[in-house]
Amino acid sequence: MLTLADIGKTAATVQTITLAPLSQTDINYLIADTLSCTPDRARPLTELLYQKTQSVSLVLTCRWLD
């Protein structure tokens, strides 16, 4: 598998996207939508996941899938 450095040495165009951390409100809507429940019902889980992941989306997704 090629690394980003290897790909950058080719003729391929590489673009970097920097993502900001998700807000607690964004995470709450994501969880509520995923669980098909209201944001109020999802709030306790949101608070727990927000605290555990510090709102880093990749970590949030990985913990969610565990």
Report pLDDT for 33.
92
In order, the DSSP letters of 4-37 are HHHHHTSSS-----PPPPPPHHHHHHHHHHHHTS
CB 46 within 8 A of CB 31: yes
Report pLDDT for 16.
78
The answer, yes or no, to whether residue 65 has pLDDT greater than 60, is: no
3-state secondary structure of 63: helix
Report pLDDT for 62.
58
Q: What angle do CA 44, 31, 64 make, to 5 degrees?
A: 90
pTM tops 0.95, yes or no: no
pLDDT tens digits, residue range 13-61?
Answer: 877 778 778 889 988 998 899 899 999 999 999 999 888 877 666 666 6
